[in-house]
Chains A and B, each alone.
Chain A
Amino acid sequence: MILPIIRTAIASLRRDRAALALAFVLPVSFFTIFAVIFGGMHDTTPKITVILVDQDQSSASQQLMHALQQEGSLVIRTHPESKDKPAQPDYTAATAEAAVKAGDAPIALIIPKGFGQNPIAFGPSRDNSSAIQLLNDSSDMIAPQMVSGLLQKAAMTSMPSAMADQGVKYTEEYLGELTPDQRKKAESNIAQLRKLEKDGTINSAASSSGSSGFDGIIPVHARAVVGQNKKSPMVSFYAAAIGVMFLLFTASGSAGALLDEAESGTLDRVLSSRITMTSLLAGKLTYNTLLAFTQLTVMFLWAWAVFHLDFFSHIPGFVVMGLSTAVAVAAFGLLLASFCHTRAQLGALSTLLVLIMSSIGGSMFPRYLMPEAMQKAGLLTINAWAIDGFTKVFWRDQPVTALWPQVTVLLTVGIVLFVVARRVARRWEFA
């Protein structure tokens, strides 16, 4: 008697596409996304873009820079990249800091003048003026740790002569002066090392498999240039990230009222009045936009009240980003509803799409943790653009005018999705 029950259940499942999608497509999609992000399908660690300013121009700084360039997990930029203007001037300390503030790169390294004279320090750094300046965006907590480690590794592997030279100095300082013979031998060895460095026999950090081990051989002075004064780092990020994800769910659910109305016959009755399908959808888009904006406002007010987010000094940026995001998610919901035939279908499809969009769009974990290809794929989602915009407002304190790329994309997405939804909704207009 069990077999007939199983047969009935299988037949029902086969015909319930929504349940099938939730049962098989969603888990496989999620597994794939997480495997790509955290697994070994691509580079295990995403590349970190580092702006490098060499004010010292010494052989030590050059060697260090060369070694960092050889690091596979770093992308070193010495000047801004622009397709329109190929020959851009090198970064200065000021432009590098501005670039980190603008979010062009999470890290800038400034090798100051005088670095070459004392490139290595055993024990606590005594002189901050020759220490490498590491400017970072504190929203990215991983990049500074990684770059610091790689910096030490590069020093260990790329500057053996400097290390030997400094070693001799430290020996003389703490143990007494070397004899002329010892000094001669040491200098000869150091000269040999310099020759090998010049030949390129010793130059590559990438060729070495050794770990940085010695923490702090190169004096580094780290300074957060973005978010240093924020009371609650990451709160604005998560308010936007989680907010957008739930906005997408709510917008889909709310747009589902259209399906209820179609099923109950109310839609027919409404369309037999003076209301046209275009005005009906426009009304629903406006309502869903206002609903989504209200949700975002509640979310950010909560973040202000509980997590001390600086909400009230960012009102213009919030309104611009909030409304743009709300338009996009409202149109997304309408499009899904107009594609689906039943609430169950809508529920399954929206769950599938929203979770996928949220995972690759940065709502579940920051996009900078993802491989480069996935970061680019994330730009196909509403989440990524919305989060980027809100980050500009609340994290980088950028003016409203700086939001134009995000606003343009989100509003365009909203308009395009609405137009497609209107076209799909023709099926309800006449039989």
Chain B
Amino acid sequence: MNTDTTAERRITFPEGHQDVVEALLVDGRFLLEGDPAFMTLKQHVDFYQAFFRESFGLSLEYHSEYAFLQSGRDSDPLSRDVCIFLGILCYELDREGYNLLEQLSFHTLEFEQVEQMFEMSSFREVLDATTNLQDAQARRNFYNRLHRRRIIERLDDQIFRFTPAHKYFLEFARSVARYNQRLVEEEE
């Protein structure tokens, strides 16, 4: 933050400040590496940590490939839907013999292919119980939301790919596994 100690204190904001705030606060989306706003954020991480904390009481979660503002809400229905979606997708991809991390990080996926996996999935019950994932129409809306939040990137009507933001959820899955592993070890 640059301050000027002339007659009145004036704050100058980094260039692209509006884009950063709009993406993080107004759109509530993941800001991704490669995005010009991400560059701004990267160069002024400390400033933005303080800015969002002081102005809105929100903490900025900054990683090397993505950043977002923590909502502060304990439970977000979208987050649960994303977890269920990714969980089932990972399971199905692995079952079909794909290299999971490679597939999610570097390859494009076809909506059609994903739809087939979900239609045939053995997690039918879970899907039925999840309003936003239960049928093809609901999932189409869900894909749009994922796109708006920049968890996936729609390349056209047929294909999409995951943005680095998906790693946030994979990390969550790892932490779940580690937690359960510890429980098992403690029991032993």
Same complex for A and B? Answer no
